[in-house]
Chain A
């Protein structure tokens, strides 16, 4: 069992947990993820590492209540524990001095962007953060992002905070005004990452995205997280989660991400059990 040492609700249905996992915290690097299983009957869900404290032995995760398991996770409080917490998984972000780096964060994507931006800045890059949310209510970690980046540009879809527009609008304006950055990184919902990749392709700017596919084990043993990158099949959990945004087949990823839509609804409605009454599901 892994103890939740702190819980904050950052925005409606968006939560921040600090989880005690010293061995994971000792090794965690920006760009990696963990897999969490809430309880004995739980499924394994991947969440990106948003921060870590090697001294305290904690990992920070941030998640939105999107479906059954994240809703179940959200019910837990500080002092409770999750059944399983595995990591660090995936390949860490490649950090070096590129020059000008633009970090684009959409929605909950702010959380995984934060540690990478911080590392990029520490490596001597000029880091421009662009963060966007649907509305003002959903903006979080603005102060943390200001510290992690050299400059921060904020936008909301509905214009309720700072300005109106998508992150791609802000990115286009920035590139047109300041010229091409050396690297763009985008993390957020798939359609947002796809939009960023399409835009930077136009300008021929190297772009990395971090995929959040359906996973089971997270160690390369099943291929649930398959993605086509440059025409080749890759496993997001061991070859990624970061890939060249111009080579990712986003259409396929979007289709694959909807694979269990029906079942997800079913879980939320919580019907009977299909084990034939053997009660093995609790065995």
Chain B
């Protein structure tokens, strides 16, 4: 087996940074068939695939890659879809560097196999095809799924495959959760998300939009009046945190959730062709250093801002965002102000934001997390002139559902308490997973939790009969 290994991944074609910073089209253009087959050739097809163990939904990675080598793309898609309902989505947004690709044997001495890129290629290939979806033999059980984000979608797919009758309730007018309102078009085209969701409908999953459980019906009413046998709660972490700084309610200060919802879900970037407006600042500050902050900054740039700053209190090494996202933002011209903490918003007489007062920080003693804690440098305050500020410091769970379900145990942050290995909550027949349990995490982790819960729900239903 003295196979010559190509040391680097085959490069993925990208839009030029100068061009793409001005449009909402997808940045990464995806592999061609030739590139996909060539990349697949780099896989050693290990007997003991460590990559699979790194995947939260345990995709049979070597098996699908072997099929790509043979140009059997449809079969490859079938293999992936056994465990992952949304390959075109996950191939794009998973942090592969911390998951499958982190454990790739090829990656020990060279670059790992581009598993994410291959998954994306296969996902896109099958999205273009009119896939034949088989409906399972009905079991007669009804399961309600609250929230149609990644956790709910994965849970629905597995339960439908097992023959249960699944209804998803979604508060917004479009299903998909963060895939629709949070992650921008240039990272995840919405048409692809909707196509993947259409396939779920073909499997028999009913999706009811504009339905807020907790307002239109309580969880108990779903069981009592609608006759559901079990429920999965995947309501996410959609409530924005603010910093509670003076001037936070000036015009021009957004939560990242609002800014991104306007742009992505409501397509404010097409205003006035679409009716929802968004403030396009000349100078924009984004507070925070996670993926949401990167998305907000890159969106502001595309809407036409001249200067976009990421304001982050630690240094570059501590940025919680994926390296790839940070690099993309830098290439596009986003400026980073490290060791900088916002202290208050400055506004005009008539209530509009004119600046963000910041204080410089220096690294002090290590804190509980082992990282050196940033401490303010007294007297180093200065005002950064901006007309739009976007707060991207995190989100918490929305209490609309838990408030109306008194016997559902939550922790002090408002997250639903659920067993990690089963998704079981304190309420009989009710399971939960994703960000509503863990706090804001990743798409794939939410999907993993949805699958775990689906398995438990299936066992629970069978035990009832």
Q: With both chains docked as a complex, state the minimum distance between the C-beta of A27 and any C-beta of chain B, in angstroms.
A: 6
Note all chain A residues with C-beta closer than 8 A to B141: none
**B261 within 8 Å of A by Cβ?**
yes
Note all chain B residues with C-beta closer than 8 A to A260: 277, 279
Q: With both chains docked as a complex, state the minimum distance between the C-beta of A272 and any C-beta of chain B, in angstroms.
A: 7
The A interface, classified by DSSP as helix, strand, loop or mixed, is mixed
Note all chain A residues with C-beta closer than 8 A to B215: 27, 87-89
**A280 within 8 Å of B by Cβ?**
yes
Q: Are A280 and B267 in contact (CB under 8 A)?
A: yes
Find B24's partner among A88, A89, A280 (CB 8 Å cutoff).
Answer: A280
Q: Are A275 and B240 in contact (CB under 8 A)?
A: no
* Stretch from A36-44, A51-59, A186-194 at the B interface: A36-44
Find B275's partner among A86, A267, A271, A274 (CB 8 Å cutoff).
Answer: A267
**A8 within 8 Å of B by Cβ?**
no
Known contacts A84-B209, A266-B272; is-contact A252 B24 (Cβ 8 Å): no
Known contacts A221-B398, A223-B255; is-contact A280 B240 (Cβ 8 Å): no
Complex Cα spacing A259 to B22, Å: 25
**B23 within 8 Å of A by Cβ?**
yes
CB-based nearest B residue for A69: B275
Find A275's partner among B24, B275, B352 (CB 8 Å cutoff).
Answer: B24
**B173 within 8 Å of A by Cβ?**
yes
Known contacts A43-B276, A283-B190; is-contact A267 B173 (Cβ 8 Å): no
Q: Are A233 and B242 in contact (CB under 8 A)?
A: yes
Within 400-454 of B, Cβ neighbours of A (below 8 Å) are at 400
**A219 within 8 Å of B by Cβ?**
yes
Q: How many A-B residue contacts, CB cutoff 8 Å?
A: 152
Q: Are A219 and B279 in contact (CB under 8 A)?
A: no
Complex Cα spacing A27 to B218, Å: 10
CB-based nearest B residue for A42: B275
Complex Cα spacing A216 to B272, Å: 16
Kindly name the residue among B242, B271, B279 whose own CB sees the greatest number of chain A CB atoms within 10 A. Answer: B271
Q: With both chains docked as a complex, state the minimum distance between the C-beta of A6 and any C-beta of chain B, in angstroms.
A: 21
Complex Cα spacing A271 to B352, Å: 25
Q: Are B249 and A221 in contact (CB under 8 A)?
A: no
Q: With both chains docked as a complex, state the minimum distance between the C-beta of B304 and any C-beta of chain A, in angstroms.
A: 8
Note all chain B residues with C-beta closer than 8 A to A68: 275
Complex Cα spacing A87 to B212, Å: 7
Q: Mark B318-341, 1 if CB is under 8 A from A, else 0.
A: 000000000000000000000000
Known contacts A219-B398, A220-B400, A233-B249; is-contact A281 B270 (Cβ 8 Å): yes
CB-based nearest B residue for A259: B251
**B364 within 8 Å of A by Cβ?**
no
Find B279's partner among A38, A226, A259 (CB 8 Å cutoff).
Answer: A259
Q: Mark B166-185, 1 if CB is under 8 A from A, else 0.
A: 00000111000000000001
Note all chain A residues with C-beta closer than 8 A to B22: 276
**A23 within 8 Å of B by Cβ?**
yes
Q: Mark B382-400, 1 if CB is under 8 A from A, else 0.
A: 0000000000000000111
Q: Are A274 and B271 in contact (CB under 8 A)?
A: yes
Q: Are A273 and B272 in contact (CB under 8 A)?
A: yes
Within 178-209 of B, Cβ neighbours of A (below 8 Å) are at 185, 190-191, 209
Q: Are B350 and A217 in contact (CB under 8 A)?
A: no
**B239 within 8 Å of A by Cβ?**
yes
Complex Cα spacing A119 to B358, Å: 51
Note all chain B residues with C-beta closer than 8 A to A244: none
**A157 within 8 Å of B by Cβ?**
no
**A103 within 8 Å of B by Cβ?**
no
Within 13-45 of A, Cβ neighbours of B (below 8 Å) are at 23-24, 27, 37-38, 41-44
The B interface, classified by DSSP as helix, strand, loop or mixed, is loop
Q: With both chains docked as a complex, state the minimum distance between the C-beta of B336 and any C-beta of chain A, in angstroms.
A: 25
Q: With both chains docked as a complex, state the minimum distance between the C-beta of B173 and any C-beta of chain A, in angstroms.
A: 4
Q: Are A216 and B270 in contact (CB under 8 A)?
A: no
Q: Are B261 and A255 in contact (CB under 8 A)?
A: no
Within 268-305 of B, Cβ neighbours of A (below 8 Å) are at 269-277, 279, 303-304
Q: Are A222 and B279 in contact (CB under 8 A)?
A: no
CB-based nearest B residue for A278: B25
Q: With both chains docked as a complex, state the minimum distance between the C-beta of B307 and any C-beta of chain A, in angstroms.
A: 19
Complex Cα spacing A223 to B251, Å: 12
**B98 within 8 Å of A by Cβ?**
no
CB-based nearest A residue for B262: A216
Within 221-269 of A, Cβ neighbours of B (below 8 Å) are at 221-224, 226-228, 233, 238, 251-252, 255-256, 258-260, 263-264, 266-267, 269
Known contacts A216-B262, A278-B25; is-contact A221 B272 (Cβ 8 Å): no
Complex Cα spacing A271 to B276, Å: 14
Complex Cα spacing A258 to B238, Å: 26
Complex Cα spacing A264 to B272, Å: 9
Q: With both chains docked as a complex, state the minimum distance between the C-beta of A20 and any C-beta of chain B, in angstroms.
A: 13
Find A223's partner among B172, B185, B242, B262 (CB 8 Å cutoff).
Answer: B242
CB-based nearest A residue for B244: A233
Q: With both chains docked as a complex, state the minimum distance between the C-beta of A213 and any C-beta of chain B, in angstroms.
A: 11
Note all chain A residues with C-beta closer than 8 A to B267: 41, 275, 280-281
Q: Are B270 and A280 in contact (CB under 8 A)?
A: yes
Find A23's partner among B216, B277, B351 (CB 8 Å cutoff).
Answer: B216
CB-based nearest A residue for B350: A255
Find B274's partner among A216, A266, A281 (CB 8 Å cutoff).
Answer: A281
Chain B positions within 8 Å of A, measured between CB atoms, are 22-25, 171-173, 185, 190-191, 209-212, 215-217, 238-240, 242, 244, 248-249, 251, 254-255, 257-258, 261-262, 266-267, 269-277, 279, 303-304, 350-352, 398-400
List 15 contacting pairs A-B, 8 Å CB cutoff, sorted by A.
A23-B211, A27-B217, A38-B275, A72-B275, A216-B276, A219-B212, A224-B258, A228-B249, A255-B350, A269-B272, A273-B274, A275-B270, A281-B267, A281-B274, A283-B191
Chain A positions within 8 Å of B, measured between CB atoms, are 23-24, 27, 37-38, 41-44, 68-69, 72, 83-89, 216-217, 219-224, 226-228, 233, 238, 251-252, 255-256, 258-260, 263-264, 266-267, 269-276, 278, 280-281, 283
